[in-house]
Amino acid sequence: MSDIHFSRMVNNIQPGIFGALNEKKEERLKNGEKVYNLSVGTPDFPPAPHVMKAMQEACADPENYKYSLADLPELLQAVQYRYEKRFGVQLETDEIMSVYGSQEAMAHIGMVLCDPGDTILVPNPGYPMFEMSGIMAGARIEYYTIREENGYLPDLEGIPEEVLKRTRYMIVSYPLNPVCVCAPDEFYVRLIDFARKNHIVILHDNAYSDIIFTRKQGRSFLSFEGAKDVGVEFYSLSKSYNLTGARISFVVGNKEIVSKFRLLRSQIDYGIFYPVQLAAIAAMTGPDDFIEAQREQYAARNRALCGGLRSIGWNVPDSQGTMFVWAKIPDGFDSSMDFCLKLMEKTGVIVTPGSAFGSEGEGYVRMALVVDEDMIKEIIGVLDESGIFR
C-alpha cells in the first residue's frame, strides 16, 4: 500500500546520521581492514559477578516469568538504601519508580507533563533523547545553547520571558553526554530557584554520576535543597553497573510526578521482569568497590586518549566525566561528518560527529572510552602514522 498515512510525530523523527559511517565501516571489514569503534556508548566492562548470579538464579525459577505488575518492595528499599549511601538523599517509597531505562522514561514522561503545543527546554548540544521526549508528546522544543566558553552551562537569565511562560519542563544533565563537563554545586542552587520562580519542572538525567574524573564522586540533583519540590531525577543502572541490556533505571523525586507517571505507565507496561528486579536489588545493595575501580579505569583511559592525542598534535581537553571525550575537529575539514568519514577512511577509527547532538555540536566529535589503554595506545599510533593531524 503506498497511501499509508503516517503521523506528523513519526515523520518528525530524523533518521540517524550513522548510515554513511556504517557503510564505510562494513566496506573496511569486508576488505579485512581493522576498525576501532569509539562511537558506541556501551561499556565494555562486565556486570559484577554477584549481580549476574542473582539474575541467573532468578531465571531458574518459573514463578519469575509471570507479569510482575509492580516494583518489589525490596527493589524500592534497595533504591532507598543506594540513594542514602551514595548521595546522602532520603527517599520515601512513593518517590521511586522503576522504568525500562532512562531512555524509555524520557520517551514517555512528556505525555505526563505536557499538552500538545506546550514547550520544553533542552540543551543544544545534548543527548538526542532529550528532544525526542518533547517530540513524542507533541510539544514545542526550545533549545538552550550551551557553549564551551560558559562551561557548557545554560544562561538561565537569558531565556526569554515569553519562552519561560509556556515551558513545562527543562531537561538538565551533568556530567553531560556529549560535552563531558560537570556542573558546580552553585549552579543547581540557582536552577532550583529558577524552576520555582518560573513554575518549570526540572528533569535531571544523572546517567553518569559514577563516572566523574574531576571530583571523586558525583552528586544527585535531589541532594540540593528544594529539588524534590521542582523535579525528578533519572537514575540509570546502565553505566554504573554495566547493565545496559537489562533495561532498568529509576525515576526518583517529586511524588506527584512519580504518581502520575506510574498511572500512565500502568497503561503501557506490566512491570519489570522479576530476574531484572532481583539483579538490580543485588547491584544496589551488594559490594560496590568495583564502581570506584571502574571509574579509575575510565580515568586512565581518559588520560591515555586525551594526552595521546595532544602528543600527536590534536589539542583535546581531558574529559571531566561521562564515558566520552568531546573534541573540536582539527582545521581543514568542512564539517564534523567530513572529518569522521576521512578519519575512518584513513585510519579505521570511528567517532561520532558532534552534529548528531544538535546544531551546536557541529565542529566537534565525541569519542567513547570503551577500549582499554593498550588499544588506545595502538589507536594513537595509527592516527600518528596516518598524518591526519599534520
Interacting residues with ligand PLP (CB under 6 A): 41, 101-103, 127, 173, 177, 205, 207, 236, 238, 244, 249
Between 145 and 386, whose beta carbon lies closer to ligand PLP? Answer: 145
CA-nearest of 146, 135, 143, 132 to 174 is 146
Q: Which residue is nearest to ligand PLP (CB)?
A: 101
Between 102 and 119, whose beta carbon lies closer to ligand PLP? Answer: 102
Q: Least distance (Å) from ligand PLP to the CB of residue 173? A: 5
CB 264: neighbour CB atoms within 10 A? 12
**Phi, psi for 234 (deg, rounded to 5):** -100, 115
Q: Least distance (Å) from ligand PLP to the CB of residue 332? A: 30
Please state the length of the chain.
390
Between 39 and 347, whose beta carbon lies closer to ligand PLP? Answer: 39
Q: Least distance (Å) from ligand PLP to the CB of residue 311? A: 28
Q: Least distance (Å) from ligand PLP to the CB of residue 285? A: 19
Nearest 5 degrees, angle CA 281-CA 207-CA 177? 160
Residue with cell 531525577: 233
Between 181 and 383, whose beta carbon lies closer to ligand PLP? Answer: 181
Which grid cell is 26?
A: 562494513
Between 274 and 324, whose beta carbon lies closer to ligand PLP? Answer: 324
Q: Least distance (Å) from ligand PLP to the CB of residue 236? A: 3
Between 103 and 319, whose beta carbon lies closer to ligand PLP? Answer: 103
344 neighbors 21 (Cβ within 8 angstroms)? yes
Which grid cell is 142?
A: 526550545
Q: Least distance (Å) from ligand PLP to the CB of residue 263? A: 21
Between 177 and 347, whose beta carbon lies closer to ligand PLP? Answer: 177
Q: Least distance (Å) from ligand PLP to the CB of residue 204? A: 11
Which grid cell is 246?
A: 537489562
Cα R_g (the chain), whole angstroms: 21
Burial 212-229 (b: 16+ CB within 10 A, else e): bbeeeebbbbbebeebbe
Q: What DSSP character marks residue 45?
A: S
Between 119 and 177, whose beta carbon lies closer to ligand PLP? Answer: 177
List, as one string, the DSSP characters of 57-123. HHHT-GGGGS---S--HHHHHHHHHHIIIII-----GGGEEEES-HHHHHHHHHHHH--TT-EEEEE
Q: Least distance (Å) from ligand PLP to the CB of residue 93? A: 21
Which residues, in sequence order, are CB contacts of 171 under 8 Å at separation 6+?
106, 120, 121, 122, 123, 126, 130, 133, 203, 205
CA 192 to CA 196: how far, in whole Å? 6
**Phi, psi for 384 (deg, rounded to 5):** -60, -45
89 neighbors 102 (Cβ within 8 angstroms)? no
Q: Least distance (Å) from ligand PLP to the CB of residue 250? A: 9
Between 177 and 220, whose beta carbon lies closer to ligand PLP? Answer: 177
Between 173 and 277, whose beta carbon lies closer to ligand PLP? Answer: 173
Instruction: Determine whether 289 is exposed, middle or buried from the number of CB atoms within 10 Å of its CB (0-12, 13-18, 19+).
Output: exposed
Q: Least distance (Å) from ligand PLP to the CB of residue 171? A: 10
